[in-house]
Amino acid sequence: MFALHNVTSLKLVLAAVLCTLSTLTYASGQLVWLLGLASLLHQCLVIKNRPMIYPVVWLVLAIVFLLVWRVGFPQFPYFSSEVTSQVLLWAPEFLVDMSPLPVLERYGRFFPAILGSAFSDSSTLAAAVVGLFMLGVLLYITVRFFRHEDIRLVLCCWFAVATAAAVTADRARALTPDYILDSRYSFVSVMFLCTLTLLVQLRLKVFRLSSISIIVLLAGVYWAWAFHHFETPLQKLLNGRHSDFNRGLFLVYGKSGNEPAAIVQEAISMGIYTSPCRPFPKCESPLSREE
């Protein structure tokens, strides 16, 4: 998004390379293709300082790379209309009723809760209220200053919002908003908050202090809160993984029974995977690796 500002042919190529890397390394990274198109259309139609050939070329590149990225993707059961008993066992609150009203209601609670989840670890309502407030501020600034030449920070904010929307589309059917408060998805809210703080300082100038100082303070507070809130359940999860490994169990999503263990044992025998010694993590004897 930053490379596309005041775009040239070389900057367009650089941005395409960066977008390709983003697509391959981060699931919602593919959204930058859409935001890049918005940036180019803004330069062509609003600022009118670039020809339309740039967004046309960008659109073609985006379609090609996104199609390549999606080739060979398997269809998991919970993406289909038929919900299997195995999926329901994994996610008992899976939304079976796919009529529009229940879906919109679940999405409508999930999405704003993600946006404001950095502010509450106990109430999805409080998180949703804050999330909707921040979204309202972003909408106001976008409409109020859309003719401004530099909209890079606005696009960064919308990337955070689009990421929350992508997580909602992927998770809301299977999980209720309470899950957000005990998960890693609060980082999306922090990303949105910090970028929006910079944007508000730049456009509305409501802070006398430097917005960078405010962001550093926010990051420090969030780091302390996240460590306090997530360290215990994370350690419990890791201990469970260690216990499963020591018992010869390997959790593979979408697989059941002895199939995951057989896959791992085959990988070990082929030299693809070198298994740590057992019992992990206390065993340090290299001889135990022969297990």
pLDDT bracket for residue 289 (50, 70, 90):
very low
The answer to whether the beta carbons of residues 36 and 50 sit under 8 Å apart is no
Least confident of 87-101, 104-118, 122-136, 228-242: 87-101
Give the sign of the dihedral formed by CA 83, CA 31, CA 147, CA 197: positive
Which is nearest to 41 in space by CA: 28, 61, 58, 29?
Answer: 58
Q: Which residue type is seen at 232?
A: T
pLDDT of residue 152: 93
Name the residue ranges covered by the structural domains of the chain.
1-73, 76-244, 247-290
Q: What is the pLDDT of residue 175?
A: 78
Pick from 256, 284, 40: which is nearest to 152 by CA?
40
Report the sign of the C-alpha dihedral through residues 258, 261, 267, 268, in that order: negative
Residue 178: the pLDDT is 82
What confidence category does residue 255 fall into, taking pLDDT thresholds of 50, 70 and 90? low
Q: Name residue 120's amino acid.
A: S
- Of 8 and 257, the structure prediction assigns the larger pLDDT to 8
Mean pLDDT computed over every residue of the chain: 83
Mean pLDDT for the stretch of residues 142-162? 93
Q: What pLDDT does 118 receive?
A: 85
Specify the 3-state DSSP secondary structure of 185.
coil
**195 in Cβ contact with 160 (< 8 Å):** yes
> Quick one: pLDDT at residue 174?
76
Token readout for 210 is: 């430097």
pLDDT of 201: 87
Range in 86-90, 257-261, 268-272 with the lowest mean pLDDT:
86-90
Residue 3, both tokens? 């490379």
**Angle, to 10 degrees, between the axis of helix 186-203 and the axis of helix 100-115?**
60
61 pLDDT exceeds 90? yes
Helices (H), the chain: 9-25, 31-41, 53-70, 85-90, 100-115, 124-144, 152-171, 178-181, 186-203, 211-246, 259-269
Q: Which two structure tokens, joined as six digits, stand for 174?
A: 């299977």
pLDDT in tens, 20-43: 998 888 777 889 999 999 999 999
pLDDT value at 186 more than 70: yes
Confidence category of residue 291, pLDDT binned at 50, 70, 90: very low
Q: Which residue has the higher pLDDT, 164 or 176?
A: 164
Q: What's the rounded Cα separation, in Å, for the pair 38 and 33?
A: 9
**290: DSSP letter:** G
Band of the pLDDT at 179, cuts 50, 70, 90?
Answer: confident
Contacts of 110 (CB under 8 A, 6+ apart): 168, 171, 172, 175, 176, 177, 180
Residue 252: pLDDT over 70: no
Task: Please tell me the least confidently modeled range out of 84-88, 149-153, 243-247, 275-279.
Answer: 84-88
In the predicted model, what is the mean pLDDT of residues 271-286?
76
- Cα 76 vs. chain centroid, distance in angstroms? 19
Contacts of 74 (CB under 8 A, 6+ apart): none
pLDDT, position 111: 93
- Predicted confidence at residue 105, as pLDDT, reads 85
Joined tokens for residue 97: 């009723």
Q: Could you give the CA distance from residue 268 to residue 195 in angstroms, rounded to a whole number? A: 45
Q: Please tell me the predicted confidence (pLDDT) of residue 285.
A: 52
User: Per-residue confidence at 69, pLDDT binned at 50, 70, 90?
Assistant: confident
